[in-house]
Structure 1
């Protein structure tokens, strides 16, 4: 296959960006063949902002059955991702889904099984894996230069959102429409980076989610979580959409130093000796291991979404390895599910979670909701590359 015919379903904020990227020829080896949207305004937008003959569908079944596309990029609301992906696999299509992989772990695992059975290329839009800063951080950790991990601290509070953002659509920031708030939407990339760079999934989580703390919404807009790992390491994860200017800082401490990613810089505080070795051998009273501060140069720009789409197309055409395999999307979803459960039940949650129990509790949230959105504007935000 020399040219992959791609269809995009869901033409909201991020779907619009993908449509333009593909239509402008920014993705080598791919051509935008069809789009699917139920929104007449978005269909009109596509007609006015693209060139060439692009098929337009309003019905997803007709889109999947008649468009003759090779691959589909799914950019619809969260709940629909697993079901649409399974339908596409059934049609023999390659799939790239926007994050999150889904809202609850149970049907994400079902999607992964469908992908495995189909044998097509399955990717997820974890675009921060394309960021050279996090790629270098992962290399440092996986190579052993940081030693055994002792602590992780991740603060992501620079994704501020005003009330008008939440009012832009009826489905946003509701348990029924979105399945969660800042965790599933803005912070999911960082939760993926947390486990992808370290190679660790938490074994236990204790969390507090504040619902509508800074906005008139029924889901969380402020979260603090304490995590424990199998090797005894611990961590803190903090996220919010109600802080300005906010912080984006990831700190990983090992027995051979500390790495900090912040302000587009990566700094390695490298110990000259393992802290564990120093602790047992030093005979003075107040000594500590020496270290040197290393500003690690990171080459390359964070191409963001385009890198993930190009990597997906290359995997289809050339068999290149995926940077963000779709099957790995379940990891960050499970972490969010554990955080929610911990907050809802006011207790620590062990991982892996009971997927049926989480689904049951989520349905209770949906069925018992009395929240009614006011002042819904139903507009597509003029924001590129954000959610």
Structure 2
């Protein structure tokens, strides 16, 4: 195979974006051959914007059976990601899913197993893994420059969404339509990056979610979560869609220094003596380890697009066996964090990881049963 024939299912905001750059030939080794959507208006748009040579489908079954198709990008509603992916694997197709991997870990685990059995390439659109800022932080942690991680704090409140946003679709911000709020829609990238950079998941979570606190919605629009790790480290994750101006500040502290990311800049303070060693040898009551603020160069390539980079990597993995930047099976990790935060808030108690998947599924079903779509 010298070219991957790609189809896109779901031509909403992200699906149409992926389809456009694929049709433009931006991704080397990939050719857009088909799109699928149940909305006839979106298919009409595709014929005009993408070209009449692109085959359009209004049913997933016919789309997946199209002979001129090697791989699919899934951009449907959150709940349907695992179901569509499993069907695609059954047709022998490679799969790239949009975030989140799904709504609950039980369905995502089934998708991961189907991917494993199929032997097909499986990726997830975690485009922030290509951001040089987070790549550099991950490298600092993996090389031991920060030492043993002790504390993390992420305040991510610049996901502002007004009531008009939620009213733009009756499925938005409902348990039955979307499956969650800010944790499931806006923050999957941060939840993924959090565990990806640290290289570890917490062993227990205590979260406080506010449901419809600032907006007329069913799901959460504000969250504060506290986590603990087996090595004694702690973490705090705070997010909301109702704060303006918002903040995006990540702080990671180890026994050799700390890093702070804010306003697209990375600041690194390095201790000349690790805190643990300094504490063992110091005899002065008010002394503290000397620290140097180090400049860490961050190189951005002109016009670099994280979505296109993930897609390019996925295609190269199919054609050349290049390692995936964002393997699809890893989508379950950030989702487990959000599931644990929901369950902790509903129970008003700690939740240990690995999460009890059946307990979460049953708790979610209760909320789906009383869910309603808003008429707009």
Q: What is the rounded CA distance, in whole Å, between the counterparts of 1:20 and 1:168 in structure 2?
A: 23
Q: What is the rounded CA distance, in whole Å, between the counterparts of 1:249 and 1:48 in structure 2?
A: 42
- State the superposition RMSD in angstroms: 1.0
Q: What is the rounded CA distance, in whole Å, between the counterparts of 1:212 and 1:24 in structure 2?
A: 41
- Displacement of 1:45 in angstroms is 1.4
Which secondary structure state, in structure 2, belongs to the residue aligned with residue 353 of structure 1? coil
In the other structure, the counterpart of 2:334 is: 332
Detail structure 1 runs of 4+ shifted over 3 Å in the superposition: none
In the other structure, the counterpart of 2:273 is: 273
Q: What is the rounded CA distance, in whole Å, between the counterparts of 2:47 and 2:244 in structure 1?
A: 37
Q: What is the rounded CA distance, in whole Å, between the counterparts of 2:186 and 2:221 in structure 1?
A: 10
Q: What is the rounded CA distance, in whole Å, between the counterparts of 2:339 and 2:306 in structure 1?
A: 26
Q: What is the rounded CA distance, in whole Å, between the counterparts of 1:47 and 1:168 in structure 2?
A: 25
Q: What is the rounded CA distance, in whole Å, between the counterparts of 1:207 and 1:45 in structure 2?
A: 43
In the other structure, the counterpart of 1:47 is: 47
In the other structure, the counterpart of 1:310 is: 312
In the other structure, the counterpart of 1:146 is: 146
- Displacement of 1:372 in angstroms is 4.7
In the other structure, the counterpart of 1:218 is: 218
Q: What whole-Å deviation, never above 9, does each CA across 1:218-261 have from its counterpart, x for those lacking one?
A: 00011100010110000100111111110111110000000011
In the other structure, the counterpart of 2:374 is: 373
Q: What is the rounded CA distance, in whole Å, between the counterparts of 2:67 and 2:349 in structure 1?
A: 49
Q: What is the rounded CA distance, in whole Å, between the counterparts of 1:152 and 1:145 in structure 2?
A: 16
User: Does structure 2 conserve the Cα–Cα contact (< 8 Å) formed by 1:8 and 1:34?
Assistant: yes
| 1:258-269 equivalence runs, <5 A | 258-269=258-269
- Displacement of 1:262 in angstroms is 1.2
- Displacement of 1:4 in angstroms is 0.5
Q: What is the rounded CA distance, in whole Å, between the counterparts of 2:84 and 2:262 in structure 1?
A: 36
- Displacement of 1:291 in angstroms is 0.4
Which secondary structure state, in structure 1, belongs to the residue aligned with residue 56 of structure 2? strand
| 1:290-301 equivalence runs, <5 A | 290-301=290-301
Q: What is the rounded CA distance, in whole Å, between the counterparts of 1:153 and 1:68 in structure 2?
A: 47
In the other structure, the counterpart of 1:64 is: 64
Which secondary structure state, in structure 1, belongs to the residue aligned with residue 65 of structure 2? helix
Q: What whole-Å deviation, never above 9, does each CA across 1:289-333 have from its counterpart, x for those lacking one?
A: 000111211112452111100110010111100000000000011
In the other structure, the counterpart of 1:82 is: 82
User: Does structure 2 conserve the Cα–Cα contact (< 8 Å) formed by 1:265 and 1:295?
Assistant: no
Q: What whole-Å deviation, never above 9, does each CA across 1:141-184 have from its counterpart, x for those lacking one?
A: 01101000000001111111111111111111110011001001
User: Does structure 2 conserve the Cα–Cα contact (< 8 Å) formed by 1:226 and 1:237?
Assistant: yes
User: Does structure 2 conserve the Cα–Cα contact (< 8 Å) formed by 1:104 and 1:359?
Assistant: yes
Give yes or no for the alignment of 1:321 onto 2:323.
yes
Q: What whole-Å deviation, never above 9, does each CA across 1:110-139 have from its counterpart, x for those lacking one?
A: 111110111111000001001011000000
Which secondary structure state, in structure 1, belongs to the residue aligned with residue 268 of structure 2? strand
User: Does structure 2 conserve the Cα–Cα contact (< 8 Å) formed by 1:103 and 1:333?
Assistant: yes
Give yes or no for the alignment of 1:174 onto 2:174.
yes
User: Does structure 2 conserve the Cα–Cα contact (< 8 Å) formed by 1:158 and 1:241?
Assistant: yes
Which secondary structure state, in structure 1, belongs to the residue aligned with residue 116 of structure 2? helix
- Displacement of 1:67 in angstroms is 4.7
Give yes or no for the alignment of 1:21 onto 2:21.
yes
Give yes or no for the alignment of 1:196 onto 2:196.
yes
Q: Normalised by the size of structure 2, how large is the TM-score?
A: 0.98
Unaligned 5+ segments in structure 1 are 377-387
Q: What whole-Å deviation, never above 9, does each CA across 1:243-282 have from its counterpart, x for those lacking one?
A: 1110111110000000011111111110001001111110
Q: What is the rounded CA distance, in whole Å, between the counterparts of 1:238 and 1:67 in structure 2?
A: 47
Unaligned 5+ segments in structure 2 are none
User: Does structure 1 conserve the Cα–Cα contact (< 8 Å) formed by 2:170 and 2:373?
Assistant: no
- Displacement of 1:52 in angstroms is 5.0
Q: What whole-Å deviation, never above 9, does each CA across 1:11-30 have from its counterpart, x for those lacking one?
A: 00111100101001111110
Q: Normalised by the size of structure 1, how large is the TM-score?
A: 0.95
- Displacement of 1:286 in angstroms is 0.4
Q: What is the rounded CA distance, in whole Å, between the counterparts of 2:306 and 2:225 in structure 1?
A: 27
